[in-house]
Amino acid sequence: MTNDTKSARSSRARGMGVAALRGLGLALITLPGSVLCFVLSLVSIALIPIGVGLVTTPWVLTGVRAYADWRRVLAAEWGGVRIPPAYRPLPKDANPWTRTFGMLRDPATWRDLRWLPVDMTAGFVSALLPAALVLYALEGFVLAVGLWRVMSDSEGGAYWYAFVPVDSQATAFTAAAVGAVYLALAYRFTPGLLIAHFRLTRAVLGSNQGELSERVRVLTETRRDAVDTSAAELRRIERDLHDGAQARLVAMGMDLGTIEVLLDKDPEKAKQLLAHARKSSVEALAELRDLVRGIHPPVLAERGLGDAVRALALRLPIATEVNVELPGRAEAPVESAAYFAVSEVLTNAVKHSDADRIWIDLHHTAHTESAGMLRVTVTDNGKGGAVIEAGSGLAGIERRLGTFDGVLAVSSPAGGPTMVTMEIPCALS
């Protein structure tokens, strides 16, 4: 037997034991949890006509949602079964009446309430099956080592194990052989039984229509954010042109008019104004170049995201190491979103982190089932404490990436380091 085979069997045996323990834990913990949530929900909703339920129902249903979300997390982590939530958002300042009937009008609330009785019956049994199968298999071996005498005496006759009447050592060994068959079945099917439990949960708790509605809601929000961001960007460009290059060009035009008047009267003064006008033209050109670079950097268009990020790093006052593994180029909008997201993260690091070193990693991971994922990680050794909150630069980055179904993750414990990871689904040319 090779080492790989031994390792695979050992891993399979561990998986059997882990699945049995997890199923037993789910059965023992979730049965009372589902019963409690269901009873409290029914009582609270029944008390709405007399007014008490208006106060209690939002709290009870919030608890049910938290319980259901916990089960969603377990399904994803233990069984690889994803059950996306699809709850309708409620106003934060809503009164009890609005919150109560807003939650009751949500189809996801009634899916939760339909799931609870299923979970306390079929869900309990399906969660207990992996542990029951393993324990019943082990019982056959325990009978063979002498327990059959105790069980036979207590039963007042033969103790039946499966289809075997155990009343002697010979039949106890037969029970052990049957237990070995059950153990082989447990070895083969126990992890799948636990996954079946989570699939049952998804069948009742999940909803394709709810997932579609959630998807539409997210797309609506990201589209609105994209429109708002574009409008803000246009206002910034207009303001920069009006206050910068346009003002310099107007002043330069006035200087040229004055020069025409002074050419014959005061040539020396005219020369001074010409020098000033030339300086203004240089400054106006530099401002226009900066403005164009802020809209779409030429290096990004010409040489791609990797070289554009390297150019960003060269302008930083902090030592920066850039690692790029991009076998091709993404579409221009994706490259632009990633570039400005990296630029914003680097600006935040320089301003707030007190770091003396930054690492940037760009790479693309190909997937067989999708186009792939562009992943950008920016790490600094600063003081940490970065959070995504409303109005912050990181929240703006999250909105920018959301337009492309991208995600932002921030790990920044107090004392550092800070790691900002951005992922955008895309294909490379």
Tell me the per-residue pLDDT of 110-121, one tens digit each, with 9 for 90 and over.
Answer: 999 999 999 999
pLDDT of residue 366: 73
Reported confidence tier of residue 60, pLDDT bands at 50, 70, 90: very high
Q: Please tell me which residue, 234 or 357, carries the higher pLDDT value.
A: 357
pLDDT of residue 193: 83
Lowest average pLDDT, out of 29-43, 45-59, 357-371, 413-427, goes to 357-371
Q: Is the pLDDT of residue 368 over 50?
A: no
Contact by Cβ (8 Å): 143, 161? yes
pLDDT of residue 346: 87
H-type alpha helices, 296-421: 298-303, 305-314, 332-352, 393-402
Q: Are strands 373-380 and 407-411 parallel, antiparallel or unpaired?
A: unpaired
> What is the rounded average pLDDT for all residues in the chain?
78
**pLDDT, mean of residues 75-91:** 81
Q: Is the pLDDT of residue 145 over 90?
A: no
pLDDT of residue 38: 92
Residue-wise DSSP of 295-326: HS-HHHHHH-HHHHHHHHHHT-SSEEEEEEE-
**pLDDT, mean of residues 8-23:** 73
Q: Is the pLDDT of residue 102 over 80?
A: yes
pLDDT of residue 39: 93
Contact by Cβ (8 Å): 76, 82? yes
Lowest average pLDDT, out of 291-295, 340-344, 369-373, goes to 291-295
Residue with tokens 């550092």: 416
Instruction: For residue 122, give the DSSP letter.
Output: I
**pLDDT, mean of residues 313-322:** 87
SS3 373: strand
pLDDT of residue 36: 92
Q: What kind and span of H or E run contains 361? A: strand 357-365
Residues in the chain: 429
From the centroid of its chain, how far is CA 343? 22
Query: For residue 301, what are the CA distances in angstroms to 56, 135, 265, 335, 397?
Result: 58, 64, 50, 9, 21
pLDDT of residue 289: 67
Contact by Cβ (8 Å): 183, 137? yes
Closest CA to 78 of 15, 8, 12: 15
| Cα–Cα distance measured from residue 417 to residue 406, given in angstroms and rounded to the nearest whole number | 23
Instruction: For residue 414, give the DSSP letter.
Output: T
Q: Is the pLDDT of residue 212 over 50?
A: yes
| Cα–Cα distance measured from residue 383 to residue 418, given in angstroms and rounded to the nearest whole number | 8
pLDDT of residue 11: 65
SS3 389: coil
Identify any residues that bridge with 165 across adjacent strands, giving them in sequence order: 160
| Cα–Cα distance measured from residue 335 to residue 301, given in angstroms and rounded to the nearest whole number | 9
Give residue-wise pLDDT tens across range 221-278: 656 665 555 556 666 666 666 666 666 677 777 777 777 777 777 777 777 777 777 7
Most confident of 104-118, 161-175, 402-416: 104-118
Contact by Cβ (8 Å): 358, 316? yes
Q: What are the phi and psi torsion angles at 7 (to 5°)?
A: -65, -40
Lowest average pLDDT, out of 163-167, 348-352, 393-397, goes to 163-167
pLDDT of residue 64: 92
SS3 157: coil
CA atoms within 13 A on the CB side of 377: 13
The 418-425 sheet, strands edge to edge:
319-325, 357-365, 373-380, 418-425, 407-411
pLDDT of residue 217: 60
Closest CA to 318 of 261, 263, 381, 383: 381
- What single-letter amino acid sits at 256? L
